[in-house]
Amino acid sequence: MEIDQMEVVERASEAGDRATMRLNMLVAITVALLATFMGVCKVKDDNICQTMQQAQANKIDHWSYYQAHNIREEIARSTLLQLQLSADTAAPPAQARYQGAIASYTALAADQKKKKEELKGQAEQDQKDYDGANFRDDQFDLSDVLLAIAISLLAMTALTHQRWLYAVALLPTFFGTVMGLSGLLGWSIHPNGLIQLLS
């Protein structure tokens, strides 16, 4: 029995075409899944950025009110000291009026101090809220970078038809997906060195 060499070449070509088609299909499915996942992460990341901006604005407002109450407290204390010094040399009929003013300014200074401390606590909480949101924002940023690298490698895979390149693309795909899930699910995975490098 004679072997038809043309038939062998055609079968090899068909097998190669099928392998290329399978690889291209894998690349297309992977890119579609990554693009969808990146879209979901982007929506959540945008919401976190809005939360960060709000926390930053609240912090600035609370520290501004803190300074205003601090100034009011200092003015009240200064006025209180002047009243106390003046009361010592005042005539007895005026003493009662001085004592009333002293009591009023003592209460005002105490009230301003209390409000100031409340605002300080709120401003510090705003900073904690910002830092917590920034932690998650960093996770999404790292996910974006890794998944963008993965999509670039997948594009090269589609052009070159190299299976090993697809395998290489799966590394940033895996780590980018883990970082995206960390942001979505509130996991505490946060590679500080890498994130600082990208900051």
Each residue's pLDDT tens digit, 27-73? 999 999 999 999 999 999 999 999 999 999 999 999 999 999 999 99
Task: Note the pLDDT tens digit of each residue in 95-154.
Answer: 889 899 999 999 999 999 999 999 999 999 999 999 999 999 999 999 999 999 999 999
In angstroms, the Cα distances linking 98 to 78, 83, 86, 168 are 15, 7, 8, 83
Non-local CB neighbours of 125 within 8 Å, separated by 6+ positions: none
Give the residue carrying structure tokens 């693309």.
169
Q: Please tell me the predicted confidence (pLDDT) of residue 9.
A: 47
Is residue 8 predicted with pLDDT exceeding 50? no
